[in-house]
Amino acid sequence: MGQSASELDFGNIMQIVRNTSHDGEEKIRDRIVSNIYARAEELAERVVTKSQTRNLDRTIDNILTSPILGFPIMLLLLGVVFWLTIQGANVPSSMLAEGLFWVEDRLTDLFMYLHVPTWLDGVLIHGMYRTFAWVVSVMLPPMAIFFPIFTLLEDLGYLPRVAFNLDKLFKKSGAHGKQSLTMSMGFGCNAAGVIACRIIDSPRERLIAVITNNFVPCNGRFPTLILIASIFMGGLAASTYSSAVATSVVVGLVLTGIAVTLLVSWTLSKTLLRGIPSSFTLELPPYRKPQIGQVLVRSLLDRTIYVLGRAIVVAIPAGIITWILANIHIGDMSVIAYVANSLDPFASLLGLDGIILLAFILGLPANEIVLPIMFMAYLSEGAMLELESLSVIRDLFVSNGWTWLTALNVMLFSLLHWPCGTTLWTIHQETKSSRWTILSFLIPTVIAVGVCFLTTQLVNLLGIL
């Protein structure tokens, strides 16, 4: 009775609403919202008087987030940061390598003096110490340059502006604008980025952000990308341009990562996680003068030392295991060669080799150790090079059959492959769902395999190599 009457009335009203308000023109909600905003603006203009002195922030924002200049400035800044890192890291890297390998020689002398058995000498010096030396000399300088600059930009308040610029793209992908923020967090650490996805209210959009966070390189993967780009891609060009080439490769990779993020978000929002993006307000905090001293200390302690420490802690046991695997023989083949050989056919389809793939698999606990494992595995195969400068790494790779295509595929695979163990665990914590965790593993893996496969086949087909 009473209820049915109201039902009827409401039904009529909704019918009329449909007829009156929707005829394919601009969405009525947008009109309503823009009317409210216009009124607020008008009101503010009438009651607020501002002295002109304080409008510097607004002026800077208008440039940094302008539709025309916003993106070029972002690219430029990204480029400058990487260029400084690549250019600046060369010298200290070789100095560190020299110093640490001088110590290695002295340690060997000491071991010989003490008549330490050869196998122990192998495990400790060639397994443990050499890995440690490599991780430190290869990873420390880029990190010590990259992280302070990145922290400086963060401290200045630039990252929210990046998020602002990217917001539109994310909305077009059917995702939440806040995903640009969680993605930016991912540049630091994907696990942190996944936790940051809590700021997104809609479960659908949060899942998209969680699953795609992995596509931006984190602290653990940046050194790998930067190193391979500078020793391999940079080496392709004349030495005057090598840093510039290496920089553009890294910038290109980051852009690829963002493009894949958007593409996967779009695909998910059209298939598994269908829905309409919700809107939000992004507050642009005022620019602050960064406290340089604090930035230096914080980025060195919180990031550089932290990442390096993690790398060493995981790399040392990994180094020992790798050394042992490389020195235990099945027939006339070492275990590592055996496993690598069995992975080889598949890996070569992707333009990688068995050892690279093995390194990525063993690197599941932490991306930082992928490169050290590769060194160890290659070095253990008899190619005992006197490693004293960065160019030797290149020689080591080349002598193991690397081409620029291998380097490119390693970088692409590193960028796109499965999330590290910590991130996967965090995803499980956040989603409380094994299904989404497995999917967060599978989607990047399939993409990484697919992209590397296509790249390799395309290059082979065109015969560019």
Q: How far is the CB of 158 from other proteins (least distance, A)?
A: 20
Considering beta carbons, is residue 38 or 91 the nearer one to other proteins? Answer: 38
Which H helix or E strand runs over 186? helix 179-188
Q: Which DSSP string corresponds to 288-354?
A: ----HHHHHHHIIIIIIIHHHHHHHHHHHHHHHHHHHHHHSEETTEEHHHHHHHHHHHHHHHTT--H
Q: What is the rounded CA–CA span in Å between residue 423 and residue 212? A: 12
* Closest distance of CB 48 from other proteins, Å: 5
Nearer to other proteins by Cβ, of 47 and 238: the residue is 47
CA distances from 304 to 43, 251, 309, 312 (A): 49, 21, 8, 12
For the CB of residue 29, give the shortest distance to other proteins in the complex, in Å.
Answer: 4
Residues β-bridged to residue 334: 329
CA distance 465 to 177: 41
Residue closer to other proteins (CB basis): 174 or 351? 174
Q: Which is nearer to other proteins, 178 or 303 (CB)?
A: 178
Q: In the bound complex, what is the minimum distance in angstroms from residue 4's beta carbon to other proteins?
A: 8
Alpha-carbon 317 to chain mean position:
25
* Least CB distance to other proteins at residue 99 (A): 50
Residue number with CB closer to other proteins (19 or 240) = 19
Instruction: Work out whether the CA dihedral 115, 118, 123, 128 comes out positive or negative.
Output: positive
Cβ distance to other proteins smaller for residue 106 or 274: 274
What DSSP string describes 428-454? Answer: HHHH--HHHHHHHHHHHHHHHHHHHHH
Q: How far apart are CA 320 and CA 283, in angstroms?
A: 49
Cβ closest to other proteins, residue 46 vs residue 115: 46
**Contact call for residues 422 and 219 (beta carbons, < 8 A):** no
Nearer to other proteins, 3 or 239 (CB): 3
Minimum Å distance from CB 437 to other proteins?
22
User: Residue 43 or residue 454: which is nearer to other proteins going by CB?
Assistant: 43
Task: State the residues that interact with other proteins by CB under 8 A.
Answer: 2-3, 5-7, 9-14, 16-18, 20-22, 24-25, 28-29, 31-33, 35-37, 39-41, 43-44, 46-51, 53-54, 201-202, 276, 278-281, 283
C-alpha 435/C-alpha 437 separation (Å) is: 5
| Residues forming beta bridges with residue 12, ordered by sequence position | none
**Minimum distance between the CB of residue 463 and other proteins, rounded to whole angstroms?**
46
Report residue 380 CA to chain centroid gap.
29
What residues are paired with 333 via a beta bridge? Answer: 330
- Which conformational region is residue 383 in: left (phi greater than 0), alpha (psi within -120 to 50 degrees), or beta? beta
Token pair of 146 as six digits: 């990259």
Q: How far is the CB of 176 from other proteins (least distance, A)?
A: 10
In whole angstroms, how close is the CB of 283 to other proteins at the nearest point? 8
- For 48, phi then psi, to 5°, come to -105, 130
Nearer to other proteins, 6 or 434 (CB): 6
Shortest Cβ distance from residue 304 to other proteins (Å)?
32
Q: Are strands 333-334 and 329-330 parallel, antiparallel or unpaired?
A: antiparallel
Helix (H, G, I), strand (E, B) or coil at 383: coil
